[in-house]
Amino acid sequence: MQIGLAWLNHESAQQHVPSRDWEWEWIGEPELGYGEEQPGGWVYNILPFIEESPVHDLARGLTHQPRRDALTQTIQTVFSMMHSPSKCEPKLNVITGPVNNGNPTQMANQTGYTKCVGDTPFSDWNNFPRTFSEAENYNW
């Protein structure tokens, strides 16, 4: 119920449903808004609408290593409401591969839910940005 209400509140405030992430290797960036320029996924984008603005904004205004530390803390914060009671307990789960804008880590929060909103703005995965410098030159 809370997730659905958060989606509706997000849509009302932003005039679109929560955006998808660039790829799982990216952590949400608080200064990059809620649209295509936001590397964070739908869970990150609804945090302000589930009374988790402090987690959403952990890295706001920080630079360099303190920012990477805060972004990593963001993905390692467990939200019990993001886990389906019939699937799994809320906990950190093992991830593989790099995290582009955070610290190297092997553990991150994962949700027990997914979304489907039809067509996405990112349909050309072969040319999809993998770094911020690539994203700056991506043809949005």
DSSP 97: S
Q: What is the pLDDT of residues 50-80, one digit of tens each?
A: 999 999 999 999 999 999 999 999 989 988 7
Mean pLDDT over the full length of the chain: 79
What pLDDT does residue 132 have?
52
Residue 82 near residue 112 (C-beta atoms within 8 A): yes
> How would residue 31 be classed by pLDDT, with cut points 50, 70 and 90?
very high
What was the pLDDT predicted at 53? 94
Q: How far is CA 14 from CA 81, 112, 130, 133, in A?
A: 22, 25, 25, 26
Question: Residue 30: helix, strand or coil by DSSP?
Answer: helix
Confidence of residue 122 (pLDDT cuts 50, 70, 90): very low
Region 117-134: what's the mean pLDDT? 49
pTM here?
Answer: 0.74
